[in-house]
Amino acid sequence: MVAESDEQAVETEAPGWKPTPEAKKKATTFRWIAVALWVVAIVGEAVGIFWLLRQRVYVGEEGTFTRDPETGLVSESGVTAIFPQWAFISLLVLLVVIAALSITGSVLWKKANRLDPARKSDKARFFVQNQLGAIIAIIAFLPLVILIFLNKDMDKGQKATAGIVGVALALLATYIGIDFAPASVEQYTADQSTVVMLLGKDQVVWVDGGKVYHVCDEVPDVQTGSEIRTGTTAEAIEAGKTRLTLEFASELKKCGLPVPENSAEIVSAIREIRDGATGVVLPAPVWGEGVTPPIVVKDAAPAN
């Protein structure tokens, strides 16, 4: 029974690229730290809204009481509430702190998404997971900035300065929080599949620096004097190399390995997948006459 349950679990598990356990652990750590920073940022916003913006001092307390004959209400003339300078400076500092927390959290969150991305096919989760930094930045700034402009105790100079600083930092934090080119499981799977079909195994090479990994170690981009590292595509991504070089055809030729005749079609398909297209079929390599394929991968049986 246990064996049958395990088999069913394997069958229902979504196919595709998987991060290494180390990368998964690192991504989880980054996400927890990011969430903690964002929580502190939102708490800071609450402090600004419910305490700092409510600070005021009264000037002209020697005023006299007068009664409005139309309403019968008594008011004290000559007393004015103003926003204290210490609170104004504290507000500016708070805005900078919120921005720093929001931005740092976004950077860590995006690093986590590179290590352990979402699936493009799950559109809602893919959007939220990749743009959460921008969403948090808006949440952490928008209410506070609105209330700054609505504050009646600030003078024009204070309101203009705090408002401009708040808007500028909010835009900066939101911009940094946006992931304009998010990674996806589909993208990593396409790169991994290409490597396997070209080389017969999931093994690539890379060096420190740069963002791509390569199909062999005799190309100029690898022969840089740095230590040449070898591993799976998942290990390359864990090392910060987020994609396969699209110059793999010239690299294969340089290393004396077979080059598929339809390499341009493969590159085109990979580009489409990286650009977010769904339903793109990754072409199988077409080998020339007399070329022994590195591996023969049979098409899977149609799902029932």
Domain region containing 164: 17-177
**12 pLDDT tier (thresholds 50, 70, 90):** very low
> Do 195 and 172 share a structural domain?
no
Q: For residue 11, what pLDDT is reported?
A: 38
Cβ distance 252 to 259 under 8 Å?
yes
DSSP code of 50?
H
Within a domain: residue 90? yes
Q: Are strands 57-59 and 80-82 parallel, antiparallel or unpaired?
A: antiparallel
> Do 235 and 89 share a structural domain?
no
> Do 196 and 147 share a structural domain?
no
> Do 78 and 34 share a structural domain?
yes
Q: For residue 22, what pLDDT is reported?
A: 97
Model confidence over 225-262: pLDDT tens digits? Answer: 889 999 999 999 999 999 999 999 999 999 999 999 99
110 pLDDT more than 80: yes
Q: For residue 277, what pLDDT is reported?
A: 86
How many domains in the chain? 2
Within a domain: residue 295? no
> Do 270 and 193 share a structural domain?
yes
> Do 258 and 207 share a structural domain?
yes
Within a domain: residue 39? yes
Q: For residue 210, what pLDDT is reported?
A: 82
Model confidence over 156-204: pLDDT tens digits? Answer: 999 999 999 999 999 999 999 999 999 999 999 999 999 999 999 999 9
Sign of CA pseudo-dihedral 224, 229, 234, 237? negative
Residue 59: how many CB atoms within 10 A of its CB?
11
> Do 218 and 82 share a structural domain?
no
Within a domain: residue 8? no
| Measured distance CA(296)–CA(94) in Å, rounded | 61
Within a domain: residue 10? no
Model confidence over 31-72: pLDDT tens digits? Answer: 999 999 999 999 999 999 999 999 998 776 555 666 777 887
Question: pTM for the full model?
Answer: 0.86
> Do 32 and 135 share a structural domain?
yes
| Measured distance CA(53)–CA(83) in Å, rounded | 8
> Do 246 and 126 share a structural domain?
no
